[in-house]
Amino acid sequence: LLFAPAQFSAANLRSCDFSRSTFNHYQFNTPDAENPADLSFANLKEVTFSHCNLSVVDLVAAKAYGIRVEHCQMQGADWGWLG
C-alpha cells in the first residue's frame, strides 16, 4: 500500500497492520514535537518511511523487520524493544 501524504499527530495507531506499506511525506507528529502518534505494537514489517517526521513517536514493541527509513526526522523516537 502507498499512502498519500497526511498528518497523524496524536493518532492512536497501536497494533495496526501496516505491513508492506510506504509512507511518503507523512507527519507522525506536529513540528514542535508536542503530539506524537502512537505506533506501539504495530506491524511495520517491510514498511518504508520516506521524508517523514517520526520525532518522539512511540514505536515500543512494533514489529519492524525489514523496515526502511529514508530522510526522516526521528529525534527522541521510542523504539523500546522491537518485535
- One-character DSSP codes across 6-70: -B-TT-B-TT-B-TT-EEES-BSS-TTS-S--B-TT-B-TT-EEES-B-TT-B-TT-B-TT-EEE
For residues 72 and 49, the answer to whether their CB atoms sit within 8 Å is: yes
| Structure confidence at residue 82 as a pLDDT band (50, 70, 90) | low
For residues 29 and 54, the answer to whether their CB atoms sit within 8 Å is: yes
pLDDT digits (tens, 9 = 90+) for 6-42: 888 889 999 999 999 999 999 998 777 678 899 999 9
